[in-house]
């Protein structure tokens, strides 16, 4: 299989420019630079051209020309991905297809509870469109003001409400995709039941742009909750947090929408380095849970049931202290401690970031084993753990020991990754629960994924993209 694609000759680039017209491309290196660099400044590539198509027909024509001349394509949404999947390589021969101009809401169907949107619609815009018809599109993440539906689909994004609504895979009923030969697959079906063979849309969701360019999607909508209650609970340890989750689900059922765990160090960072945060408790505790329950009752309906469930958990020793937010403003303040963790952690020094998942019942074992193994290898290392414990997904970002230099610690990345990922996988887990493989975890995917699974992935990639023009060198090597 052709592994590396060709450098695009000038006449091919000219044909591509003609497809989108003068307002649809960038070829000045300075103007292309923001499209070539990733959110964490880590992946800084070069592109031959940035194309900004305005329709599915334009995307299809671009892909046809690229396929004919074996020019590699990097599909790009809001460029908020964290694994280098959305940026070009350093050789400068790829073209970026940036989807931001395809931002039409094509159809709103309140009775089918669906929204059909183009791939360049920003996530927050999709949420607003759902809100406009009194529905909820529940995908929610800190980058929602910039990331696009196409990127959310490309990465199978998660976020804070996966516990109740599932991740992107569960929120999509149909897709329209430009295939690597330029044909358009119209799979924009708004069906909840369809037993007619392979579920092709699921192949494209989470494929990181390696199988085609998604141009539109049918999204699932839900009743908009009319009541939401937020609480922060101090818990003795992660095991208690998992038991508290089971207890809350028993008492409150599906109303438990979010359930996040944070170590004390997360709160310390927020108080030390960010403005406007204060400790909601009188005394410090080792671990905290932030939970949200939502429902369809009158505002405030769930306040007392949540407080009572937490009080019962206190009696059982699962909770040491708890606050139930008395207002939307207080709820927002509690949530901001969690949502601003990426910024809160930065000033504390270099950290090595992980996005692992394990079965929920093994979260505590994962944290205990990983903390112990890292402390043995790097005495004084400071584990920072926060995340979506309700989905078994932890952002596990150990910080350098206080007396280490940032660069010296960063050089240990591979060894630290190996320790953490060995433990996660031994516990039946995954090395990436949300952010994906991209370039960041490409080598590790080959270590940790079963050979049979890698073979199936390669077979699918070869079948759909025989010339390897779709985002080569990302997610899977062929």
Ligand X SMILES: Cc1cc2nc3c(=O)[nH]c(=O)nc-3n(C[C@H](O)[C@H](O)[C@H](O)COP(=O)(O)OP(=O)(O)OC[C@H]3O[C@@H](n4cnc5c(N)ncnc54)[C@H](O)[C@@H]3O)c2cc1C
What are the residues binding ligand X (CB under 6 A)? Answer: 39, 74-82, 85-86, 99, 119, 141-143, 147-148, 150-152, 154-155, 157-159, 208-209, 213-214, 342, 434-435, 471, 474
Helix/strand/coil for 443: helix
9 Cβ contact partners less than 8 Å away, ≥ 6 residues apart: 69
Measured from the CB of residue 82, what is the shortest distance to ligand X in angstroms?
5
Measured from the CB of residue 158, what is the shortest distance to ligand X in angstroms?
4
Three-state DSSP string of 101-130: CCCCEEEEECCCCEEEEECCCEHHHHHHHH
Q: How far apart are CA 229 and CA 322, in angstroms?
A: 13
CB closer to ligand X, 371 vs 434: 434
Measured from the CB of residue 136, what is the shortest distance to ligand X in angstroms?
17
Strands (E) located in 264-399? 287-295, 321-324, 355-357, 385-388, 393-396
- Structure tokens, 294: 């939502």
CB closer to ligand X, 59 vs 318: 59
Q: How many residues does the chain have?
A: 478
CB closer to ligand X, 99 vs 290: 99
Residue 186 pairs in a beta bridge with 176
Measured from the CB of residue 74, what is the shortest distance to ligand X in angstroms?
6
408 Cβ contact partners less than 8 Å away, ≥ 6 residues apart: 400
Say how many CA atoms lie within 13 Å of 245 toward its Cβ. 24
CB closer to ligand X, 13 vs 74: 74
Taken in order 471, 96, 94, 441, the sign of the CA dihedral is: negative
Measured from the CB of residue 278, what is the shortest distance to ligand X in angstroms?
23
CB closer to ligand X, 74 vs 265: 74
Measured from the CB of residue 429, what is the shortest distance to ligand X in angstroms?
16
Closest among 252, 233, 352, 344 to 293, alpha carbons compared: 252
Residue 290 pairs in a beta bridge with 232, 260
Measured from the CB of residue 141, what is the shortest distance to ligand X in angstroms?
4
- Residues 176/214, Cβ–Cβ less than 8 Å: yes
* Closest chain position to ligand X (CB): 151
CB closer to ligand X, 71 vs 234: 71
CB closer to ligand X, 100 vs 263: 100
Measured from the CB of residue 324, what is the shortest distance to ligand X in angstroms?
24
Residue with the two structure tokens 């945060």: 277
Strands (E) located in 3-81? 25-26, 49-51, 73-76
Q: How far apart are CA 337 and CA 56, in angstroms?
A: 41
CB closer to ligand X, 81 vs 238: 81
């Amino acid at each position: 299989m052709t592994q590396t694609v060709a450098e695009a000759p000038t006449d091919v680039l000219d044909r591509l420019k003609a497809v989108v017209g003068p307002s649809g491309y960038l070829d000045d290196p300075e103007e292309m630079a923001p499209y070539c660099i990733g959110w964490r400044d880590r992946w800084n590539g070069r592109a031959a051209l940035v194309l900004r198509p305005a329709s599915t027909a334009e995307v299809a024509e671009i892909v046809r020309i690229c396929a004919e001349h074996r020019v590699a394509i990097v599909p790009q949404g809001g460029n908020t991905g964290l694994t280098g999947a959305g940026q070009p390589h350093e050789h400068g021969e790829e073209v970026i297809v940036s989807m931001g101009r395809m931002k039409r809401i094509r159809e709103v169907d309140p009775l089918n509870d669906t929204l059909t949107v183009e791939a360049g619609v920003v996530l927050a815009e999709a949420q607003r469109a759902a809100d406009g018809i009194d529905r909820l599109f529940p995908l929610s993440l800190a980058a929602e003001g910039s990331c696009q539906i196409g990127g959310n689909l490309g990465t199978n994004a998660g976020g804070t409400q996966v516990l109740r609504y599932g991740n992107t895979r569960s929120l999509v009923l149909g897709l329209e995709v430009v295939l690597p030969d330029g044909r358009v697959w119209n799979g924009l079906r708004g069906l909840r039941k369809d037993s007619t063979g392979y579920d092709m849309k699921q192949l494209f969701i989470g494929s990181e742009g390696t199988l085609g360019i998604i141009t539109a999607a049918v999204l699932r909508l839900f009743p908009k909750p009319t009541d939401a209650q937020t609480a922060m609970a101090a818990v003795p340890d992660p095991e208690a947090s998992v038991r508290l989750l089971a207890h809350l689900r028993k008492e409150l059922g599906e109303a438990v929408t979010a359930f996040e765990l944070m170590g004390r160090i997360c709160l310390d960072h927020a108080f030390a380095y960010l403005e406007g945060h204060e400790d909601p408790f009188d005394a410090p505790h080792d671990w905290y849970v932030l939970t949200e329950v939502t429902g369809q009752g009158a505002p405030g309906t769930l306040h007392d049931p949540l407080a009572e469930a937490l009080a019962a958990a206190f009696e059982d020793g699962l909770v040491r202290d708890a606050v139930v937010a008395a207002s939307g403003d207080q709820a927002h303040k509690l949530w901001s401690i969690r949502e601003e963790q990426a910024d809160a952690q930065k000033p504390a020094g270099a950290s090595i970031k992980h996005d692992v998942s394990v079965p929920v019942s093994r979260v505590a074992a994962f944290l205990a084993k990983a903390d112990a193994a890292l402390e043995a290898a790097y005495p004084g290392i400071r584990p920072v753990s926060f995340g979506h414990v309700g989905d078994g997904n932890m952002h596990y970002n150990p910080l350098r020991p206080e007396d280490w230099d940032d660069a010296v610690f960063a050089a240990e990345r591979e060894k630290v990754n190996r320790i953490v990922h060995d433990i996660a996988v031994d516990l039946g887990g995954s090395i990436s629960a949300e952010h994906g493989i991209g370039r960041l975890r490409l080598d590790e995917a080959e270590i940790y994924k079963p050979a049979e699974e890698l073979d199936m992935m390669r077979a699918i990639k070869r079948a759909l993209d025989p010339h390897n023009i779709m985002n080569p060198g990302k997610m899977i090597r062929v």
